Structure 1
């Protein structure tokens, strides 16, 4: 007869040899009942100790008073290493040297664009799940472009109620974010701010205390009736200060001596600031009526404006002053505006990064004085990287260029007409006009395909063979292929995770590395959106009492931020979260 004894989850197997002795099946030793009782007591004592230790380890982490989630638009990972020796103390070095620095963090989907990045980092899901497949996409139901956060059902607040700038909300976003989970868990106060509307709206979740963005036409921070019917007094006071006016006419000089910059000024492929004819330092903020306050945004003054607004938000909403943790989401946009114009190897991008470091230094010092950094958790990342300007890449011997992708789609339309007969094969296209290519997505006009008895696979196959014959494209994927999960390799996997069955196109085109859409003319700056490392490799940094400081080269994806932060806070991760927590960095 065999008996199995369980004590608090710890088991010992014994077989009964007779009424007086028991023998362990794992040993030839024979034990008397008294010795067995001692063995059981030992097991029992060990179980109690282990259970006590497990109880101590399972205790929820102490919550901070304030969580600050920072996104720096277009902050490539390599900037933090290239410019590290020029950073001051207490700014970015506070995070890189005293926080958990994920040095190989990647976007594991494409397209790498602002709106998807802001939707992904705080939801833990990719566009496949949250549906934000770009800044804009083609709406198959209406046949019109859809902006990622547009909402005609709401009105602007702090601006013209019917103006386009205020008709925004998170309704196009599917799912929830860490912000929503904090509200569910603690009823936390959540405030989200940015220069860009999508930068504030998407991380802030469905019902923050407020989401506010900058309106270039008026120089004010605004919101929509989705959130509130009237601006809070502190936002009104900030707007009344007319702070943006102080930056008009200001000169942007280099922070350091010119010899401290890694590359020459006026590198190949650079563009210029609004109103300027030169591409070199010094730069001046020139306001023209048609641009409003837009010229501020491509300079460090745009980041300064938002940093001051962030402090006003903390003061106005009393963030970090209650018994429950609050959340401030801040998305700095000026690095993106600057990077598009000058490229990642420009003096301007180096300088705006160095100046941002000093702005962070001042902001973190403010947090320490106001709340105490020991009571603050900070997470910082970027929504994407950026491609070098093609001209700069060409100077390094790389195969780079600005192929006119829109014109090429028109050529595809003509090739299809030659092969299968005249017709409008793509939505957004008319005979004699260019098809609409939206972040690599092309949409079929299905009635024409039905009329001509063409299967989507036939047209996709034709488009793929044509595209690969041009020498411009790395790959072409069809809708059914992506929905069925038949896109092999790293690039294919990234395209699949960025593909949403409801909103994405019927064909997805991926140009080769260092090729960005353009007119072929130089001096047009650069862009992002590809599945390649210059766009996908971004910094991720965690700072606070819950994290072990160090540099970690572990596999880490943008969708891992939400579950890692949720685990550090002791809350449930967002329901559509696809990532996993990096427990290695948690204390």
Structure 2
């Protein structure tokens, strides 16, 4: 599979496999992605981050780094897979193929998970596997690997499989956390069996060191910027209550491992595994630049369940500050931070819990588009005189029509699509409903919001009808707070750099996470990812 991708990309781009032996280049590039980290949050909490010179975490960026403070995604479905793929490829979803975390595969007549791959098997546990098979663009790490004739080592780690797989690209080695066993796992796309060092890590007891421990506030409550005002509207994970402390189970079990991902302990375990990867894979240890991608997932789990305005959300970032400081201390001792270029961003932002927003005088709405559309399905069938569902699947914001039924009954596809569009546009919380025809044939780039919907559209993966929700609106009930809209609270993320040759400065001009991949390529003087649309950040390239 990897060889096929190598042949395709080399034929399509005419890449020369030249050496990237270190000549004024960093020894290691570390790309940190913090799931659900809205662009204003690190500066909001800056006063409570560690300031000790030898223990700098986020303050290494905030005090000593180059910060692009006005960085926004240019796509609508601000979701984990979509953001990670854009960071990795520098491309829009319409090009890299990851239009959502899940979509409907019309040919297979089933849902497709973003990194699912039935042709591979999980290694290290039992369960479904993952690979970058659905990623239709090359990544920065692919370009680094190709330009070095395969000498550059590429490793990606995360709790979430999609957080690791997509940043690892087509040639990296990706590892993620299995919630049933607590093991760090991979798939046969990468390895036939776990590397010995990964097996050793899994058996070391690291995953069980938090049994019976409590997550308590690290500061007095009056020191926090957030408060307990949104507690009424939280939906904590089963086993945790509303309010501190949150105590872990005393016995190792799937319940314990799942709760681990909802506490700062999960990010700490991710960091410890990343350190083991640096040591055992010898990253930054020779004259070829290596690449390490770390996606910290806990912020997303906590944000969904407790909301971004909670004490939990703020305290988790204070804990992550210390975790990242420990990582930097390790890298400084191992490689020297002057030899490590670190980039930090997020896959998407987040909005507050809608009920909490309403309680303090803001707009906020929680709807149930799936239920409303399911009820409409019978009316639609009656209208066209058929039995069966004409709306095959609803995965907001995408609505998929039943093409087989439409064809079998000789219905006019356009008539069915218009009927669904007309109803969907009147759904509670929906601003507009756009047809696939409009998204594929009409230029919507004049409108800042509609352009993001169009940038997210890919024929064959996006819906026949795509919903655009109103601001501060949730179209489903699966969590307390969420993201996924084309609005500023979801598109705004940090884009920060520190380490190798980076000087302190803040830039407020409009940038995009698409800019990261091409900037790293420019730093390395190698080819850009094949479908990248980002712009080089000249302050980072010297």
Please name the residue that 2:358 is paired with. 394
CA distance in 1, matches of 2:418, 2:190: 46
Taking a change above 3 Å as real, the CA distance of residues 129 and 416 of structure 1, as seen in their structure-2 partners, is same
- Aligned with residue 154 of structure 1, among 90, 105, 120: 120
Give the Cα–Cα distance (whole angstroms) in 2 for the partners of residues 423 and 531 of structure 1. Answer: 36
For the residues of structure 1 that align with 2:440 and 2:533, how far apart are their CA atoms?
17
- Is 2:177 the counterpart of 1:214? yes
Q: Cα gap change, 1:477/1:241 in structure 2, threshold over 3 Å: closer, same or farther?
A: same
In the superposition, the TM-score normalised over structure 1's length comes to 0.84
- Retained in 1: the 8 A contact 2:367–2:428? no
Q: Aligned pair 1:459/2:422, yes or no?
A: no
Aligned to 1:565: 520
Distance 1:107 1:199 in 2: 17
Q: 1:477 aligns with which of 434, 446, 449?
A: 434
- Work out whether 1:502 is the aligned partner of 2:465: no
* 8 Å contact kept, 2:380–2:390: no
Q: Deviations over 1:171-210 (max 9, x none)?
A: 11112111111111222101111111111111111122x2
Q: Secondary structure at the match of 1:152?
A: coil
Q: Deviations over 1:229-285 (max 9, x none)?
A: 121121111111121211121100111111112232261421123313x21011112
Three-state SS of the structure 2 residue aligned to 1:217 is coil
The 5-angstrom pairing of residues 114-263 of structure 1 reads 114-160=80-126, 163-164=127-128, 167-186=129-148, 187-208=151-172, 210-263=173-226
Q: CA deviation at 1:290?
A: 5.2
**Contiguous gaps of at least 5 residues in structure 2:** 1-21
CA distance in 1, matches of 2:414, 2:133: 33
Q: Is the 8 A contact 2:337 2:500 kept in 1?
A: no
Residue 579 of structure 1 corresponds to which residue in structure 2?
534
Q: Is the 2:369–2:427 contact (alpha carbons within 8 Å) kept by the matching residues of 1? A: no
* 1:288 CA drift (Å): 7.8
Q: Are 2:401 and 1:444 equivalent residues in the alignment?
A: yes
Whose RCO is larger (CA < 8 A, sep 6+)?
Answer: 2
Q: How big is the shift at 1:525?
A: 1.3
Pair 132,470 (structure 1): closer, same or farther in 2 beyond 3 Å = closer
- 2:398 touches 2:463 (CA, 8 Å); kept in 1? yes
Post-superposition shift, 1:425?
4.8
Aligned residues: 512
Q: 1:86 aligns with which of 35, 42, 48?
A: 48
Please give the per-residue CA displacement for 1:126-185, whole angstroms capped at 9, x wherever unaligned. 21011111111111111011111111211222223xx32xx2111111121111111112
8 Å Cα contact 2:103/2:461 also seen in 1: yes
- Offset, 1:585: 4.3
Q: Is the 8 A contact 1:119 1:203 kept in 2?
A: yes
Gaps of 5+ in 1: 1-59, 429-435
C-alpha separation in 1, matches of 2:354 and 2:125: 40
Taking a change above 3 Å as real, the CA distance of residues 441 and 61 of structure 1, as seen in their structure-2 partners, is farther
Q: Paired residue for 1:57? A: none
Give the SS at the match of 1:202. Answer: helix
- Distance in 2, matches of 1:440 and 1:447, equals 22
Maintained 8 Å contact 1:439/1:529: no
Separation in 1, partners of 2:59, 2:439: 41
Could you say which residue in structure 2 is the equivalent of 1:49? Answer: none
Q: TM-score by structure 2 length?
A: 0.90
Contact persistence 1:61–1:546 (CA under 8 A): no
Q: Offset of 1:578 from its aligned partner? A: 1.4
The corresponding residue for 1:426 is: 390
Q: 1:455 to 1:585 in 2, by over 3 A?
A: farther
- The secondary structure found in structure 2 opposite 1:583 is coil
SS at match of 1:104: strand
- Please give the residue correspondences for 1:41-52 in structure 2 after superposition, counting only pairs within 5 Å: none
RMSD: 1.9
Residue 448 of structure 2 aligns to a residue whose secondary structure is: helix
Q: Does 1:71 find its partner at 2:33? A: yes
